[in-house]
Amino acid sequence: MPDSMQDLIASWDGEAVVIRYDRESGTWIFVAMHSSKLGMPIGGCRMKVYPAPADGLRDVLRLSRGMTSKLAAIQFHFGGGKSVLAIPHAMEGPEREALLRRFGRLLEHLGGAYATGIDLGTSPEDMAVIAEETRWVFQGDPEGGRSDPGPYTARGVLACMQVVGERLFGGLAGRSVLVQGIGGVGEPLARLLSTRKVRLLLSDLDLDRAKRLAAEVGAEVISPGEVMTTECDILAPCAVGGTLNPKTIPSLRCRAVVGSANNQLENDADADRLAARGIVYAPDYIVNAGGAIAYALMHQGTMDEAVINARIHQIGDSLAAILDEARKRNESPLHAATRRVEEVLAQAS
């Protein structure tokens, strides 16, 4: 695997990447613009401590590609991008705010080459700080208390679980669902599922957090080390990516994977490994488009919650069409989804 920064960029199929070393905080800032074919590249800002700066770059490059696929699949006029703030240590208070301001000013200088939003490690409050420095940030509807895309993403995940549950088991009732990671999407997803007569299993690196939510919604807690080997009907990865790989796939004991995490597969070939094991893999960028849909609609001035939710619910129909296509052609759902994305992008050029 290439790992110098120049190797990573040379082997990437995107358009441009902006790199800034933020001396004041010791943070590496990466802004990846994967594709502007369908419109302005957009994608969230991930803030995380990485083992090395190149790991942050690798993440942003892959994540931005995922955004291109996601946005092409839902057919909004936006391209794919992403930003990563590879911080040297967890940052709060004035230090965090100052970094976010400098990041905001960088986006302002880029002048709309990319617009950001929430992703793992950033919050509505962070976006409000960035918005004081630049226009190029999606905030949803802060006055209406709708600035977090997480709950919208969760609704799309649930719609997809219903489709998969219907096909595999004739419905979700009585089935077990394991939610891995109860953050911005995992938590609202767990709450939605708790009203759906499923047997709910929760896991999080922060065990106390998992225990608290489990007690509240009536779920069992699974320790993080056991997630990939626990028997369940549907596994929902809702945290970091890369959890489905040649090491974990052989030991999975689920019937389907339907979750919100971006880049769940370490490599595209892992989709075939899952298919060979008879596990239905719902492509991540189809399943997790709810937040992007909500942001895009609100950006266009569509504020009606019922309209937004109806559009998000349609993700389930898209997934159903992809699963049908995959079955017909005897290929993995990821193949079918990728073809769809390529068709949309080809029509645009």
To ligand PHE, the closest distance from the beta carbon of 170 in angstroms equals 31
To ligand PHE, the closest distance from the beta carbon of 315 in angstroms equals 12
Closest listed residue to residue 48, CA positions, set 269, 205, 248: 205
Instruction: Give the per-residue SS3 of 180-217.
Output: ECCCCCHHHHHHHHCCCCCEEEEECCCHHHHHHHHHHH
Closest listed residue to residue 53, CA positions, set 9, 100, 113: 9
Per-position b or e across 74-101, b if 16+ CB within 10 A of its CB: bebebbbbbbbbbbeeebeeeebbebbe
CB nearer to ligand PHE: pick between 117 and 183: 117
CA distance 33 to 18: 8
CB nearer to ligand PHE: pick between 104 and 117: 117
* Residues known to be catalytic: 82
To ligand PHE, the closest distance from the beta carbon of 71 in angstroms equals 8
CB nearer to ligand PHE: pick between 187 and 233: 187
**Binding footprint of ligand PHE on the chain (CB under 6 A):** 42-44, 117-119, 138, 149, 262, 288, 291-292, 295
CB nearer to ligand PHE: pick between 130 and 193: 130
CB nearer to ligand PHE: pick between 117 and 188: 117
To ligand PHE, the closest distance from the beta carbon of 292 in angstroms equals 4
User: Which amino acid appears at position 116 of this protein?
Assistant: T
CA distance 311 to 313: 5
To ligand PHE, the closest distance from the beta carbon of 67 in angstroms equals 6
First to last CA, the chain: 31
Q: Which run of H or of E encompasses 130?
A: helix 124-131
Instruction: Give the per-residue SS3 of 135-181.
Output: CCECCCEHHHCECCCHHHHHHHHHHHHHHHHHHHHCCCCCCEEEEEC
CB 261 within 8 A of CB 239: yes
